[in-house]
Structure 1
Amino acid sequence: METEFTNLVEDAGVKKRILQEGQGEMPIDGSRCKILYKGTLEDGTVFDSSLDKESPYKYRIGKEELIKGLDIALKSMKVGEKAELKITPSYGYGDEGDSFKNVPKNANLTYEIELINFKQAKKKKWEMTPEEKHQEAINKRTKGTAAFKQQNFKEAEKIYKNALSYCTLTTDEGNELKASLQLNLSICCYQLEEYKDSLDYAKKALELKTNQQQKLKALYRKALANIKLAELEEALADLREAFKMDSTNSAVIEELSRVKQLLKEARMKEKEIYSKLFQQKLYDESEIEPKKIEIKEAKSEGSSCCDPNEKIEEETQPKPTVENKDGQIQEEKPEERDQPKGENQESNNKIVEESATSA
């Protein structure tokens, strides 16, 4: 339904008449709009149009990509709205005109325009208030959760970390959001087998001291990470504390039972190892002593062919002796020892015969 023209500025330099109502929000400075438009001069000459293009014209408010009057008009429109605009030279091409578009100097302009859709401009983080950052963190958490449900844990971890950087509120609501993101990061890291990081995020969530439900989750996530890190005593302590908070929680009960069993098995294995080590020690000691006794016996009997004293024993054996002419015992000379026994015997016989004759 068409309406009467209304002034959008005080000096009536931009007027708008709605041809078709739109709905929803209106764009602001920085918004990226998709529009259809046609511009004509007072005599009806078309000087610019997007209607002959394959796709809508992309226009960013605040950059004055066309003329100032269009920026003002678009900020008053809703998605789906069609409007007719009357724009004076001060909000159009001014006293210079536009030779490229054949717009003369000081020309009054008429536009028919339709707002197809737009994307709201995002503020930079440093431009946001704490409340705006809080809302942005919530939005990012939602995106992270969607990635987690698709088992895209790495992408979810990245989004949650980014969301955490927007958490600046120090109120209870702000702390609960921060704890929620840290708990989500803890489970993401667990799925990615980054157990140390998973443990650290669970600890940080606990430090915030938020509501009981979040504390219970933090203790449970902390216990899961400790189990993977083989810190079973720590895990047992976490689960016992969680059990005190909620003795009906099936997940806590199940993990508590499992950790007790793991500890029992670990202690039995440890006991078995120590028992084997102790028995081995006794066995080693019993092997050493008999060897010492055998060595002593070998030395006393002199039976070993490798006895180091064997050489000494050879050197102290009695040297061979002979009886001389006078009946005295003397040491046998080496040359005599080397003579053949037959010659020695003959000499001895001669000595005996001579002795008998002289007698």
Structure 2
Amino acid sequence: MTVFQAPEGYIALDDSNKLFKKILQEGTGELANRSGSTVKVHYTGSLFDNGDVFDSSVDRGTPFEFKLGKGQVIKGWDVGIASMRIGEKADLLILSEYGYGAQGSPPKIPGGATLLFNVELLDIDLSTAELSIQEKIAKAKELKGKGNELFKKQEFSEAAKVYQQAENTLSNTWGAEPEEGSQIKDLKVSLYSNIAAASLKIKDAKQAQIYSKKTIEIEENHEKANFRLYQALTMLGKFEEAIELLETKKEILKGIDVDQEILRVRKQKAQAIANEKKVYSKMFA
């Protein structure tokens, strides 16, 4: 696959190589990096291949406003504008994956079109903004602490709810710096694992299964998450899945006798089958 080569002076804004920016005038005001903040811009959009202008707020004489990070505009705008300061003028070069995709926006924008936007960031209204990433991390840590206190008091249902509030706080954290990303990852692992633990306590095996898997998606060999997934599968009567997990993850499940657990699950399966046969025999007696 041919990698797009942006013209001189353009820099990639992320690792996708689908969005590039060339600063024409440095901004001196607030940075537009708060999701949910309302930004006001002037722009002229054209097709990169032939220069045909398809839209211009400048020509209309009316700035365009939208909320960042809410999917109200194409991804190239959500990411590109978030890199600008008030007063900055820049060209945003947006490949179709960050623009209108293979379908385009007929009749003016054909499918697969690369777009060029000349943009000026006029103003930012932070009153509509979400918490900053650092504020979200701090809030999630605070809620995690409250959840832990509830768990210690054996208020497991409430603890699970508070952990989920903390999880929701960490949504929409695109644009995080590497150190922030690491903190978010660690928090999510801890929160997902804790939700699974609390769910098992209240016999909500389905939720325990979901959050154990979410933990493992991030940290494959997380011992407690794998053990909690095994417990949830057993509780749900998914005995063969439970046995397969035990056999696959035997090396990391240091805290249990895996062979004994496998025997126990096989006995549970046999008992479940026997109970099912009894029910059917009574139904048709």
Coarse TM-score class (shorter-chain normalised): 0.3 to 0.5
Length-normalised TM-score, structure 2: 0.45
Name the larger-Rg structure. Answer: 1
Structure with the greater relative contact order (CA < 8 A, sep ≥ 6): 1 or 2? 2
